[in-house]
Structure 1
């Protein structure tokens, strides 16, 4: 089934917001060349979409995760990564950091940042932070504009699929 999205609240292009977000995505978006492993980057993007329940981002980044070769079971169990043995220690450290940064949890953020140093170098940590920050920008934009999924062909504006 192909999905389309309709803006139910406002069109962000009225204030050129998409242009600003796209400029940032060139450096850390899902098609960017990063030192961080592509599958890990997709897990982080998808986890941000889950935390912020953005339909547009959930659909887009589930497909992107599949395109990066992530197993369907791993994608399905991402929300319960703490209770799963499907995630490596470096993925766990990055996911904990992702959640702390997305939820702005200062009680755990310093320790999650320190834990990254066991698995990633300074550039990779900066990329992980940028990936999470960029995704949070996109989910908030899509939530604000009211990017609502519907079956393709029924008043569709932006099509995925």
Structure 2
């Protein structure tokens, strides 16, 4: 079992300006009107790829709070084989994988699929959200942030 080197609150306290900048980048897409459920799906997928336990759990909890079905969340990791995802979600998830796995390059096919579902402006904001979650993932993995715990109605850790 790995242990946390520090926690996200420590990072926020040590580098508040960096924290605020990355947070603002991540929030820009939602402020521009990109669907919050879609944004949570792409954040979850990037976090799965990058192996960030903190971010995977955080975005599962956020997704559940937005009403995304648990079955859908369970299938994000295999979205290509699951019929639950719309063509827009599929384009966003493919774009997320392309921008997260940069060593494979970003193909013209991935770009064309994304552009078929998103305007140029939407794609710019979606790309910014993907860039932001990749920054958070790198921080979470580097510092081994402890994944958040689901809380019950009383604000206590749920068992």
TM-score normalised over the length of structure 2: 0.80
Structure 2, unaligned stretches of length 5 or more?
Answer: 151-156
Report the number of matched residues: 149
Structure 1 residues 127 and 74, CA gap change in structure 2 (3 angstroms): same
| Larger RCO, structure (CA 8 Å, separation 6 or more) | 1
Structure 1 counterpart of 2:11 = 12
Q: Report how far residue 134 of structure 1 moved.
A: 0.1
Q: Report how far residue 21 of structure 1 moved.
A: 3.2
Structure 1, unaligned stretches of length 5 or more?
Answer: 1-5, 153-159
Distance 1:31 1:116 in 2: 15
Residue 74 (1) aligns with residue 53 (2) = no
Q: Output the aligned Cα RMSD.
A: 2.8
Structure 1 residues 82 and 9, CA gap change in structure 2 (3 angstroms): same
Task: Write the deviation string for residues 88-142 of structure 1: whole angstroms up to 9, x where unpaired.
Answer: 1111111011001101044443321221111111111011100110000001011
Distance 1:151 1:96 in 2: 29
Distance 1:83 1:97 in 2: 16
Q: Report how far residue 15 of structure 1 moved.
A: 5.2
Residue 98 (1) aligns with residue 96 (2) = yes
Q: Report how far residue 150 of structure 1 moved.
A: 8.2
TM-score normalised over the length of structure 1: 0.79
